[in-house]
Amino acid sequence: MNKVSIKNKIYNIIFTTNGYYAKLFDVWLLIFILLSCMLPILETIPNVQVRYGAILVPLEWIFTIIFTAEYGLRIYSAKKRFKYITSSWGIIDLLAIVPTYLAILYPAIHLFTTIRIIRLIRIFRVFKLSKYLSGGHTMIVALKSSRPKIIVFLLLVILLSVVLGTIMYIIEGPYNSDFNTIPDAIYWAIVTLTTVGYGDVVPVTILGKMISSLIMILGYGIIAVPTGIVSSEITKERINK
């Protein structure tokens, strides 16, 4: 078997789903991706890190070596190597293995090795879900088209938060230690206006409670505005298609 036939066979197994070995490769790749993504999650749990850290590190290296070999085979068998390396999938494949190697050279960046979780994105390749990403493209186009309206809307929300925060500072400031400064009051206004409601800052005066009630009601309307803007642009995009 010559080099060309070997290269084509590797390409068929890695880049396509034609044949038993290609499907088997995808199944094992999916298993490795899911298992490897569990490691950075488990590493952030102190008890697990203390008890099983000695096991997690070798496992990470096993998966990294496997993905490195796969990345090398993809470069070797790709019909257009540079195109694959610079493609979005090629960059994702590279980011899936680079953090582990960088952690050896620069231990200080160990925290950033959690970027390995990007391996999950590769599931789209295994399931050949790329064709379903057209819906995502429609959403991106709609967001770009609605950007000017959303920017104006966000500026309005910011101005409204500043004004309402300042008013609440005047009303609540003398009686409530939570409204010591205007920035504190603006923070409260943003939290209330967006209906997040952490509850860490609460008005105590009757007038303050009345204004906060109006802000809460106003918040529901504000949430609906960007949704309507984007929905309108999505409808336009579909009609234009």
Euclidean distance between CA atoms 9 and 7, whole angstroms: 5
Q: What is the pLDDT of residue 241?
A: 60
Going from N- to C-terminal start, the domains of the chain cover: 3-128, 139-240
Identify the band that residue 25 occupies on the pLDDT scale cut at 50, 70 and 90: confident
Angle made by CA atoms 67, 73, 74, in degrees to the nearest 5: 90
CB 181 within 8 A of CB 169: yes
State mean pLDDT over 33-43.
83
Q: Do domains 3-128 and 139-240 have the same CATH topology?
A: no
Both structure tokens of 169 = 């500072």
CB 207 within 8 A of CB 171: yes
Whether 141 has a pLDDT exceeding 80, the answer reads no
Neighbours of 171 (CB within 10 A): 22
Check: CATH 1.10.287.70 for 139-240? yes
Nearest by Cα to 126 from 29, 210, 60, 208: 29
CB 169 within 8 A of CB 149: no
Q: What is the pLDDT of residue 72?
A: 93
- What homologous superfamily does CATH list for 3-128? Voltage-gated potassium channels. Chain C (1.20.120.350)
Q: State pLDDT tens for residues 106-139.
A: 766 555 556 667 777 777 666 655 555 555 566 6
